[in-house]
Structures are given as structure tokens and as C-alpha cells.
Structure 1
Amino acid sequence: MQTSIKFGSKRSDWGALFSYYLFFFYFSGITHILLQISGATIFVGMRQAIVMSLLWLIPVMLVPRFSRQIAAGIGLVLWVFSLISLGYFCIYGQEFSQSVMFTIFESNPAESKEFIAHYFVWWMIPVLLAHSAVAFWLWRRLRPLQVTRRLAWSATVLILLLLFVYPMFKQLAVNHASLDDAVEKLQLRMEPAVPWQMVIGYIHYRKQLANMEALLEQNSKIPPLSNLKDANAGKPATLVLVLGESTNRLRMSLYGYQRETTPELDAIKDELNLFTNVVTTRPYTIEALTQVLSFSDQLHPDLYLTKPSLMNMMRQAGYTSYWITNHQTISKRNTMLANFSKQTDKQFYMNNSRAQNSREYDENVFEPFDEVLADPAPRKFIIVHLLGTHMKYEYRYPPEFDVFTDREGVPSVLSKDQAKVYNQYDNAVRYNDHVIATLISKLRQQAGNSLMVYFSDHGEDVYDGPGYDMLGRNEAKPTIAMYAIPFMIWASPEWRAGHEMAFDGMLDRPYSNAHFIHTWADLVGLSFDGFDPAFSLVNPQFKEHPLLIGDPYQPNTIRPLDIHVHE
């Protein structure tokens, strides 16, 4: 029985209209439904796919006489793109993104071929055939659309207002965004639906690639460090820098937290040089790491444009360099990191998720780390960039690390939902402990003369108090939890035998990681014109400097951080 509504002497077939919507939504929806069932990501992508699928109703309503033919043509295009999207989910359990394009297009031909070959396995054929059969069945069920002209035009206007006019108005008039930013926000709303995943994904990929290439071109023109000397020149070594994410040292039992969140590192504490007063300058990844990996700091934020980076320095010293990351590869926010990664000899991009809040575990880095350790290059410099304890915390650890589930050790003032988040963060810290300890174990077993430094880019306030009402990071309202980061050094017995590793009296030094390039150079035996021992955490000539926080591009926000208070 048809459900219809009468407008004058004509009737609109609402049941048929819904069938057309269901047909169009199917091509985007099937992958998003599977993503939700698997718990791989948050609901935002699904919501946007639901909304954007309304767009395809416009042509069938405006030309109802040929509604089935129009639906077939649109459906054919959506079907082709949905095969790619669904197939990628079947293999990787992720949503297709511009990072996938970066991985394929920016790898060498052999690596790209290997990636694409891995993409196709035999069981995908029946899955894609079943997917296609359901799509054809949905199309066969479509009946010629009956819709009044009034409804067709009214619905068209409403859909266009909902999908395009209102979002643009909100960005331009309410949020006072630029036209470019407003268009980009609109594109991000469209991207979860096919075919926009590929179309907009490719547009963003090309745009961010151009930005990255411009940065690389600028970096290539920077003169090398003058008078670079290497005290370890010619000696085989494996040097590892592990960059954590959002990990607040106040929540690590290694630093005295009451919950056992770092049992594996606790067990090898005697092998670690644990620094207790290191802070970051910015509570944001890109801004913090731009200073960490270059000569930039709070007073000279643009030196990364005119002086060599840490990666440049290590290549100049004769090390083969590697970048292993579990972060998204190329996005507007991550272009700077992609630029840094391309300053190394070989890159491993392990996370191609479209959304940051997707389930990706840092054990992704273990396989490429093993591969690099097996590389015959005698002198290796390895950067490992982890997702660490980044929001959403429940996506950062597998089920077996869901250890903290009750209220023991949770501030009593927290609500049930807040306590759940508090526990999830501690579970993420515990899994991060496992990742760091595993990397150390691999070095211990596979690399003789080796050194590893680990710290987080910034911290995170997860109801750490006092007040117990802050979740996340806010540079305008800083708390110590946002800036207090773990900083530790591990060295193999062989490295310790050949280097001074007694840091007596140094472990409690107040130190800003903006000057890390001087500490790293000191640790690995490099000196050059411009090296300043006063900025090296491990140098006898170290001098205490103000721990400046704030936005260096807004000088009135710069102020020293008091590491002895919680707010």
C-alpha cells in the first residue's frame, strides 16, 4: 500500500521517495555502518553520510518522469566509488582518506604496487559481488516517482539550504571565517559520503602536497650547519627518538602516580634516566614539535625556515634516517609533520584513517621498527611518532588493556561519565607504557650500540585538578597537566660503556623541550657553530631559563610556566 499525501489534485509518493533515498544512501552507508559496528571511529562520518545522501534526491524529484533512469546513472557512479571505499574497509578496517592517496602516490613504484596488491584478496570478490547485488536489488525495487512540482521545488530548496547555504552562512556570518576556510569546512562535511571521499580527498591531497613541497623546497635551500663535528664519527650506532602524544607524566606510576599505569617501564626503571621537570611550550602537536625538531623556540618561532632541522643535522652527520608514524599522514594540520618526515631517507606511514578519532593502535609501528633495525645501514637515526594517549582515549588501547574500570583512585567529585573518561585515559597511558617498553626491548635484542630518547609532545588535563573540571587542552587557560611531559633516556650496555651517562644532579632540572635539538646533539656527540651547551639538559654548562608558554605569534600571551603549581 502506497503512503502518499495529496496536494490539490496530485499526489506525492512518499514511500517511493524514501526508496530512492535509501538506494542513494546505501553506497555511502554500508561502509559507515560497518565502521560503527566494528567500533573503528566516531559517529560524525555516519551522520554526514546520512545528510549528504539527500543531495541525489534533487534530480529525481525535478525530473520524476525519468527518475529510475536518473537513479541508475547516479547509482552507477556511486557504486564504482563505493567499491573502493568498502574494499578498503574490508582489508584495513578503516575509512578511505587522502592519506591513502599520499601513501600510494608518494611511495616508490615498488611500494605502491605492494600496497595495491595487498589491497586485493580473494574473499573480497564475493563481498563486492554481494554488495553490488544488494545495490541492484534496491534499484529494481524503485518505482517511477510521483511527486508534486510544489514538493519537488520546496524539497530542493530545503536540501540546498541544509547542505550548502546554512553551513556557509554559519561559517562566514557567525564564525567570521574566511571564504577559503568556509569552503574547506563544507568540503569536510561532504567528504564522508561517496563519491566525495575520493574527489574531495584528492583535492585536499593535492593542496596539502603543494604546501608540503613548498616547505621542502624552502628547506632544501637552507645551508648546512657550519663546522659540524661528530665525536662518534664512523662508529655504528642506532639512535631512536620516540615522540609521544598527549601523555601527562602526572598520570604515570613511573613518576609517582598512585595507579599502576606504567608497570613495564617501572620494571626496568634502573635502566632509565628519568627527567622530572621537563615541559613543553605549546599544548598542540604541530606547534610543539616544530620547536622540538628545529632551532625554533618561543622567542624565535620562525627559525625552522632558515636553519637546519634535527633531521637535516643527522643526515649531515652521516646517519641514514627513518620516520615511522602512526599519525594521519597528510592533512591541513599535519602538513608540517609530513614535511619533516620527508626530510628523512625513508618513511613508514601506518595510519591512513580519515578521522583522527579512529581506532588505531601504536603497535602498528612495531613491524616497520623491526624492518629498520634489520636494515644493514651501520648508522641509523629513527624517529617514531606515536598516537600515544590522544583523544578519544578509548580508541588508543586494545581490550586487554581495559584495566581501570572502577572508581578506585578516581577523584570522588567526578561524575560517572567523567570517571569513565578518567579511567580510559589511564588505560591509554598503560598501553603507551607497553609500546615504549616493547620498543626498548627490541633495541636491547636487535641493536648493540643504541640510544633511545622518549618524551611526549605535550600533556593533557583529564580532570587532574584542582577543580577537576578540565578535559583536554586550552592554551588560554593553562594547567601544569597540559605541559608536564615524561622525558626519559635509555641506552644499551654498549652505548653506556662508551659514553658518559651519569646525569647526577641533572634529572630535576627545569627544562623546556623547545631547546631539545641542543640536548640531542649533546647526547649523540655532535657539535657545530651555534650549539649552545646552556640549552642542553645533559650538559654541565646548562643554565636554567624561563619556561615560556603561550603563542609566540601573539607576544602578549607569552609568560613563564610555574611548574610547582597545578593551575
Structure 2
Amino acid sequence: MTWWQGKDLVHPWRILAYELLSWLVLWAIFKSPRWLHFALIPAFLAAPIEIYLRLYFQQSISSHHLGIITETSPGEAIEFLGNKAWLLLVIIIFIAAWWGSLLRSAWSSSELAWRHVSRWWVLALLAICVGPWLLGQYFGLASSSVEASTDDTEVAASNSTPQLIHVRSWSQLMNWADQHEPLPAWASILYDEDSFNRSWPLGILARTYDFINERQYLATLSEKNRDFRFSAQANDGNFPALTLVLVIGESSRYDRWSLNGYQRDTTPYLRQQDNLVSFSDMISPVAATRLSVPIITTRKTALQSLKPGFYEKSLVSAFKEAHFKTYWISNQMSFGQFDTPTSVIAKEADHTQFLNFGGFTNTSSYDQVLLQPLQAALDDPAPHKLIVLHTLGNHWNYSHRHPAIYNKWTPSLYGIANPAYTNLKNKELISNSYDNSILYTDWFLARVLDQLSKTQASPALFYVADHGQTIYDGSCNLAFHGHNTQYEFHIPAFMWYSDDYAKRFPQKVEALERHKDAKLSTENVFHTMLDMADIRYPSEQLSRSIISAQLSRHKRYVDSYGWSDYDNASFKGDCREVIDNGTPLPQDK
């Protein structure tokens, strides 16, 4: 069945059945319209967000969206919404007025109060259905590793020691049942969490429940994986000093770098660098920072990226095991008491610094704030170091990402208060401002390379963006990210190495040059970074390392209407929307 805005709706009758069942259950629990009306307040509050996401992103609220909302400051939210903030405000006022207008009639109406004995039969049936699930939630169920890989080639497949797990969602309970006593096919009608989550109004409560579980999971993740070990060690325990830097970019797209053929000279400094190899076909499987950074820094695969947390530690801990001193220096926010997937990883480092106290607004620091802490890390007498720099890069508002001197292409958004990225009249200004932000990124990265080149510790650097951007390309009326376009998946990435590094690892450099046009994904970064340091560990996968002669191609999935095979996809229209030529894999949320 085709649904609103031409999107296919999976199991529409099943969703309708859940809708009707939800209202029946709510009626039975609250008995009268007056209490039911108050119970529906969460659904009324969520409705404006649901409508906005449907209108502009063709998506419904998910635990991922709830995470973005809680991790976003009011200032950034206003910038993101632009002139659509007024539309959202109108919707909020309308729905609030609607709720208020119904309150009086709901409060005074008694005709619909469910006083018949059948109400108790419905409540009893509800208890029978929910009771076993609640017991499983409370006591846990014996199972193998929760995060088992969907790819039988992944190292996670070997980590199958039975353990007691705490079941966190209905789908996990069903997975457990599948592993022990498969459910009959007809049971999927009753136990389809995805369809239930799409229903209204109880579906929003289920998604909120998943989000709360994700938060709890992240808050305890450090404790859960405290004993995890890669058993990593340097290939030569007494190897000479070595300094590696991983720069994680933000919201940068491949085709806006002159280093990669863009007609505007947005990367003049990087183009002049010796020993810099730009990768022509690197993609990010997901177009959201909170999902992409874990893929970059851990062995978490694309197909696992929508799941909260990860049962392994990151490359930071692997380097620590090999006696590297580790730094995580960020121009993004730690978001205070609420850990994010990124901040959980950052805290693994020996030294962690979050230097942005202004969010993404005009009070934010420029990325150059990272240069002094970087120099302090380089000056540290420790011989072996891993330094991760997490930049604000090219995040909206683009004109806030650079000083006035880099306002080269005009007209731009520079100096304009509260510009609306959703206003097509600003199309040229937005595009120019984006290019100006990349020009500043080029300067910043050149300064980082300059600092590195002065150290005697055989330095090397790997840069990769977390995801790209769509910017009203051609007749495309989309901007920002979350739209399933090639512009958001195809990202800039490069490796730079010093002459000392090349002398020390000539075979790695040779493989690097040979693989610069290979079909790569951010799933390759973890394995490449460990290989750059010549760190070995029992479960290593050199077939995923870009600088290994053993590199082999793997299937590249992207989050586009399910898990689409990027290399077997068509790119639709000027937006270059990624459409799988086959059938995308379902996303187990």
C-alpha cells in the first residue's frame, strides 16, 4: 500500500489493528473519557514533531530522533527550524487548542464510560499478554551475546559465551525465542514491534521506552564493557616513537572539496600537501553524528548502527592496550549528564577535553580552539600517542563555522541573524557559506599537519567526515541531512603520512596509494587506524584495512529506506536519492 507522500507502508492492516487495539486498551484502563483525555497528553505533545518530520523528512518519531532532540540546545533547534519554526509553533498552538476544546466535553461526558463487565475481561486478557513480557524484562533471559553480528564474517560471531542478559525490547525477546524455540509464522502478526511502534498513540510510548532504555544503556555502558579486551599489542614492543592523529570531520561532503575536483578552490592548502592521499569512494552508512561516530571508532557495523551502544570498546582502548597515550579533544559538546554514544567513547581516553560550551550557535568556538591542546599533546614526553580531534567542521549554521576572513564567496549568510536554511530564497547564500566553511576547514587541517610535521615521532593522520550534506542541489528542494541522498553518504576522507612514517612502513604506504580509489566505508577506519600503528590483536581483520595488501571489498550498506546496497543502487533526480535496485534489508530497531 502506498502511503502519504508516495512512501510504501509495510503491513498497513496490521498497523490499523494495533491502532484499534490501542484505543480499546486505553478505554478499558481509564474507563471514562475524562481520564483518557489526560492520558493522551504525551500523544498530543508528540503530534507536532510527528507532523514536522512527516512533512520535511518523510519519517516518524524514533528513539534516534528523541536522542537528537534531547542532545540539541534551544538555540540550535531554532537555527535548524529556520522560518519553519513558525509553522511548528502554529501546529503546537492548534493541537493545544484542540486538546483544550475537547477537555470540557470529555470531562462532562459520562455516556462513553465503560461500566460493562466486558471491561474486566479485556483487562484480564491484557494482563495475560503483558505479564510474561514484564517478567522477562525484570528477571532477564539466558541468551548468547545480544549484539551478535549480522555478518558471519564479523569477529563478534566468535564471542558467543552464554551470559545473563537484561532484555531491553520486545524484539530482543523475540530474537531469544527464535534462537531457542522458533515462533510459528502467524505469531509475527501478534509480535510485530515495528508495526506497533508505527501505531498511534501507544506507539509513541513504545518509542519513548526504547529511548529511555538506550539512555540507561549508555549510562552503564562503560561498566558493561569494562572487562573487554582486544589483547592488542604493538608488533614490536620496543618500536620507536609514533604519533597518530584521527580527525573526525562534521557534515562535510566529498564533491565540495577542490582536492576532489570541485571547481571552487575550497582546499588550497591541502592540495599543496605532499604525502596526502584522498580516497575517492568513501561512504558513511548513516547520516547522523550520533550513529556514524561509533562506526568510525569501533568495530560496530553499519547493520548494527541503529542499536544503542556496543558491547566492545573503541580503538582508543585498543591503542591504550598497546601502551599508547590517548587523547580525545573535541569541539563538540559532551551534553552534560546525558551521555551520548560519542561521549561514552571519548571517556575511554587518558585525556578527554570538550571545548565547546556554546553548542552549534554563534557562541561556538571555531575549530582552531583544538590547535593549542593538540600542541600540548604533541609536547607530551610519552613516545607513543593517539590523538583524536573531533571538529565542528561544516555543521549548520555554516557561517558560524569560520571567522570573517574566510567569508570568500558572497552573498553568504555571514552576519545574518537567524537565517532560515529552509527558505529557498537563501539557496545561493547557503551554498556560498558552506563553501566558506570548507575553506576554513582546509586552513585548520593544514595547521594540524604543520604541527604534526614538526614532531620527530613518525607522525601520520587520518581524516574522515561523519556524514555529508544536501544543499538544494539543482532542482532538489532538500537541505541539511536525513534525506537518504548520495550527497550525505559520499564523504571526504584522506590519509597523510610523514616521510619518516613512509620510510618505516613502506609496504603500508604502497598499499595506501594502491587503494585510494577502492570502494570504502567508515567501517574501514577502525581497522586502518590499528594497522597504521602496526598494532596486532587476535581478532584483527586486515581485509578491512585500507593500508593492508589484504584489503578486500565488502558490501556497503546505507540507511536509505531500509539497508540499501550502495553499490547496487540508483541515484534518483537532482537530490540523488539512494534507491536500492533490489530489496533493501529491514532495519531491526
Q: TM-score, normalising length from structure 2?
A: 0.57
Task: Report what 2:481 is aligned to.
Answer: 473
Q: Distance in 2 between matches of 1:415 and 1:212?
A: 39
Task: Report the AA paired with residue 293 of structure 1.
Answer: T
Which residue of the partner structure matches residue 81 of structure 1?
A: none
State which of 327, 330, 337 in structure 1 corresponds to 2:332: 327
Tell me if 1:548 matches 2:557. Answer: yes
Aligned to 1:63: none
Q: 2:252 touches 2:394 (CA, 8 Å); kept in 1?
A: yes
Equivalent position of 1:69 in the other structure = none
Question: 1:490 — aligned with what?
Answer: 496
Q: Distance in 1 between matches of 2:232 and 2:374?
A: 32
The residue type equivalent to 1:290 in the other structure is P
Which residue of 413, 420, 423 maps to 2:429? 420
Which residue of the partner structure matches residue 314 of structure 2? 309
Distance 1:314 1:335, change over 3 A: same
Q: Flag the 1:330–1:359 CA change in 2: closer, same or farther, 3 A.
A: closer
* Match runs of 1:369-448 below 5 Å: 369-406=374-411, 416-448=425-457
Between the two proteins, the alignment pairs up a number of residues equal to 373
The farther-off stretch of 341-350 and 438-447 is 438-447
Residue in 2 that maps onto 1:101: none
For 1:325 and 1:266, the matched residues in 2 are separated by: 25
Counterpart Cα distance in 2 of 1:210 and 1:546: 32
In the alignment, which residue of structure 2 is the partner of 1:529?
538
Following superposition of structure 1 onto structure 2, how do residues 18-417 of structure 1 map, counting pairs within 5 Å?
A: 42=79, 177-178=204-205, 213-222=219-228, 224-226=229-231, 228-231=233-236, 233-268=238-273, 270-301=274-305, 305-330=310-335, 335-354=340-359, 358-406=363-411, 416-417=425-426
User: Structure 2: how far apart are the matches of 1:265 and 1:43?
Assistant: 30
Match of 1:559 in 2: 565
The structure-2 alpha-carbon separation of the partners of 1:175 and 1:355, relative to structure 1 and needing over 3 Å to count, comes to farther
The answer on whether the counterparts of 2:245 and 2:460 sit within 8 Å (CA) in structure 1 is: yes
**Quick one: which amino acid aligns to residue 376 of structure 1?**
P
C-alpha root-mean-square deviation of aligned residues, in Å? 3.7
Q: 1:208 to 1:356 in 2, by over 3 A?
A: farther
How far residue 504 of structure 1 moved from its aligned partner, in angstroms, is: 3.6
Name the CA shift for 1:563/1:316 in 2 (closer, same or farther; >3 Å): farther
Q: Which residue of 2 aligns with 1:454?
A: 463
Determine if contact 2:366/2:401 at 8 Å carries over to the other structure. yes
For residue 365 of structure 2, give the secondary structure of its aligned residue in structure 1. coil
**Per-residue CA distance 1:49-86 (angstroms, 9 max, x = gap):** xx9xxxxxxxxxxxxxxxxxxxxxxxxxxxxxxxxxxx
**Alpha-carbon distance in 2 for matches of 1:179, 1:279:** 32
| The 10-residue stretch of structure 1 (414-423 or 301-310) with the greater mean CA deviation from structure 2 | 301-310
Question: Counterpart of 2:55?
Answer: none
- The 2-side partners of 1:253 and 1:232 are apart by 41
Indicate the percent of aligned positions where both proteins have the same amino acid.
24
Structure 2 distance, partners of 1:398, 1:527, is 43
Q: Distance in 1 between matches of 2:527 and 2:284?
A: 15
Q: Is the 8 A contact 2:283 2:521 kept in 1?
A: yes
Letter in 2 for 1:443: L
**Cα distance in 2 for residues equivalent to 1:506 and 1:355:** 35
Contact 2:528 2:544 in 1 (8 A): yes
Instruction: Report if the CA contact (8 A) 1:208-1:332 is conserved.
Output: no
CA distance in 2, matches of 1:480, 1:179: 32
The CA deviation string for residues 515-535 of structure 1, in whole angstroms up to 9 with x for no partner, is: 321122222212222211221
CA distance in 2, matches of 1:371, 1:240: 14
In the alignment, is the contact (CA less than 8 A) between 1:322 and 1:347 conserved in 2?
A: yes
Asked whether the 8 Å contact 1:211–1:335 carries over to 2, the reply is: no
1:507 is matched with which residue? 516
Q: CA deviation at 1:558?
A: 4.1
SS in 2 for 1:387: coil
Q: Work out the CA distance in 2 between the residues paired with 1:487 and 1:43.
A: 26
Once residues 214 and 448 of structure 2 are traced to their aligned partners in structure 1, the CA distance between those partners, rounded to angstroms, is 31
The code of the aligned residue for 1:518 comes to H
Alpha-carbon offset, residue 497 of structure 1: 1.4
8 Å contact from structure 2 (residues 219, 339) kept in 1: no
Q: CA deviation at 1:210?
A: 7.3
Residue identity matched to 1:487:
A
What displacement does 1:274 show? 1.4
Closer, same or farther: CA 564–498 of 1 in aligned 2, 3 Å: farther
> Are the equivalent residues in 2 in contact too, given 1:329–1:349 (CA < 8 A)?
yes
Displacement after TM superposition at 1:560 (Å): 2.9
Query: Which amino acid counterpart does residue 278 of structure 1 have in structure 2?
Result: M
> Structure 1: how far apart are the matches of 2:433 and 2:390?
21
Residue pair 1:228, 1:529 contacting (<8 A) in 2 also: no
* Deviations 1:228-276 (CA, angstroms, capped at 9, x unpaired): 45247432111110000000011000000001111111121x3201111
How far apart are the structure 1 equivalents of 2:339 and 2:428?
31
Q: Shift of residue 540 of structure 1?
A: 1.7
Query: Are the equivalent residues in 1 in contact too, given 2:285–2:521 (CA < 8 A)?
Result: yes
Residue 463 (1) aligns with residue 469 (2): no
Q: CA separation in 1, counterparts of 2:81 and 2:557?
A: 37
> Is the Cα–Cα contact under 8 Å of residues 253 and 487 in structure 2 kept in the other structure?
yes
Identify if the C-alpha distance between structure 1 residues 381 and 313 changes in structure 2 by more than 3 Å, giving closer, same or farther.
Answer: same
Tell me how far apart the structure 2 counterparts of residues 265 and 290 of structure 1 sit (CA, whole Å).
27
SS of corresponding position for 1:347: strand
* Partners of 2:548 and 2:528 in 1: CA distance: 8
Unaligned runs of at least 5 residues, structure 1: 1-35, 52-171, 185-203, 408-413
Distance 1:393 1:561, change over 3 A: farther
- Indicate the residue corresponding to 2:167 in structure 1: none
CA contact (8 A) 1:329 1:352 kept: no
CA–CA distance in structure 2, aligned partners of residues 498 and 330 of structure 1: 41
Moved more, 527-536 or 557-566: 557-566
Shift of 1:304: 6.1
Q: Which has the higher Rg, Structure 1 or Structure 2?
A: 1
